[in-house]
Amino acid sequence: MNIEVRQPVRAQKAKVGLIDCDIHPKLTVEQMRPFLSNRWWNHLQTYGIRYRHGYAKGYAYPKMTPQAARRDAWPPTGGLPASDLDFMRTQHLDHYGVDHGIMNPLSPTGQGEQNPELAAALAFAANEVQAETWTHREPRLRSSICVPYEDGEASRTEIRRRAGNKDYAQVFVLSRTSEALGRRRYWPIFEAAVEAGLPLGIHVFGYSGWPMTNTGWPSFYIEEMTEHATSSQAVVTSLIMEGVFERYRDLKIVLIESGFGWLPALGWRLDKHWKRLKDEVPHLKRAPSEYIREHFWVTTQPMEEAEEPGHVVDAMNWVGMDRILFASDYPHWDFDDPVLALPPSLNEEQRRMIYAGNARALYNLA
């Protein structure tokens, strides 16, 4: 089922601006070939990429559409969804009048690959391909620095290599790391991100090797999708409790595709128990919710939808309207349409902030 590309819809709203903070370009290993050594290219041909979920191809929780993509996102020229810049321009960037798009490539980027050296080689190649194939050809797009996050030092090296280069808007990791992200093995990533003046984007997915819930493996893809929120709760809790924000006071975190409805309640919960248990974590100088308010940004997609729309607006106020960034998740099946995604009751100023203003300030976009 391919749907006709509609006419551009945003001309009349041009003044609001639109920055899409989650676009997934599809990179291929063939594109990465020039940036890989023969050794790693040959390794890839022989052993492939090995994630901590067991399958050589596909997933233990099969997606509900091929490539988890919108049915209409397959380029007419062939190739995978979001692998063709011209079609992405027509279908997405031009169609909605996107001023800037932050690209978050998911695979193959080396993230979650079990072999740390291969992971580093792939991350390097993925970052080269993003710049060469996308950013250099399309000035509206920015790349994310994929880092081989299980190796803190290799990640630091990759971040330093890209620091100061305007092609890259943020440092990028997945949410399901093999240890909770606040643990010290990951601190070189935070240090290098702060040094480079870049936010750290944490996008859901990845395979930690641990069960996807703290009560074991669920059965269904719908649970995998729902459980991104619980994993993200563990990420936020770990970053705070390990004292990361006392050590890296300028660190900015962007939670991508994890929703935000859970974030205020997590802050209340952590505050309550911190008041009782603060002698265990004397390195925290403030209530956990204060670290959340200062250091975290969230993206909108998948936009929270309550039975009563006003409840989502309550949650947005609790998170802070200045901390919410619009994201579409193009080209995935659960894409949020920029025209329809936000609650209609938001005022003009709030729409301006969420659609563009907050991201412009956070990512230093002109």
Q: Tell me which residues touch another protein (CB under 8 A).
A: 64, 176-183, 208, 210-223, 225-227, 229-231, 233-235, 237-238, 241-242, 259, 261-266, 268-270, 272-274, 276-277, 279-281, 302, 304-308, 311-312, 314-315, 318, 333-334
Nearer to another protein, 20 or 224 (CB): 224
Q: Two tokens at 199? A: 């936010």
**Cβ distance to another protein smaller for residue 186 or 363:** 186
Closer CB to another protein, residue 167 or residue 334?
Answer: 334
**What is the DSSP annotation of 106-121?**
-SSSSTT-SSHHHHHH
Cis peptide bond prior to 302, omega within 30° of 0: yes
**Token pair 């321009």 is at which residue?**
89
Give the Cα-Cα-Cα angle 253, 255, 261 (nearest 5 degrees).
Answer: 125
Shorter beta-carbon distance to another protein: residue 86 or 223: 223
- How many other CB atoms are found less than 10 A from the CB of residue 203? 25
Q: Least separation, in Å, of the C-beta of 333 and another protein?
A: 7
Report in angstroms how near the CB of residue 138 gets to another protein at its nearest: 29
Least distance CB 340 / another protein (angstroms): 14
- In the complex, minimum distance from the CB of residue 309 to another protein, in angstroms, rounded to a whole number: 11
Q: Which is nearer to another protein, 34 or 211 (CB)?
A: 211
Backbone phi and psi for residue 315, each to the nearest 5 degrees, phi listed first:
-65, -40
Helix 221-241 to helix 288-295 angle (10° resolution) is: 110
Q: How far is the CB of 272 from another protein (least distance, A)?
A: 5
39 token code pair? 């050794």
Q: Which strands, in side-by-side order, build the sheet including 296-299?
A: 19-23, 100-103, 141-146, 168-174, 200-203, 253-256, 296-299, 324-325
- Nearest residue (CB) to another protein, 81 versus 302: 302
Alpha-carbon 93 to chain mean position: 19
> Smallest gap, in angstroms, from Cβ of residue 55 to another protein?
18
Beta carbon of residue 25, minimum distance to another protein (angstroms, whole number)? 23
End-to-end CA separation in angstroms for the chain: 38
Task: Select 114 or 237, whichever has its Cβ closest to another protein.
Answer: 237
> Count of alpha carbons within 13 Å of 273, Cβ hemisphere only?
9
C-beta of 212 vs 253, nearer to another protein:
212
For residue 183, what are the contacts with CB-CB under 8 A and spacing of at least 6? Answer: 238, 242
Q: Which of 292, 307, 304, 306 is closest to 342 using CA atoms?
A: 304
Helix, coil or strand: residue 82: coil
User: Which CB atom, from 16 or from 180, has the smaller least distance to another protein?
Assistant: 180
Minimal distance in Å, beta carbon 315 to another protein?
Answer: 6
Element (H, E) at 231: helix 221-241
CB of 40 to another protein, least distance (A): 27
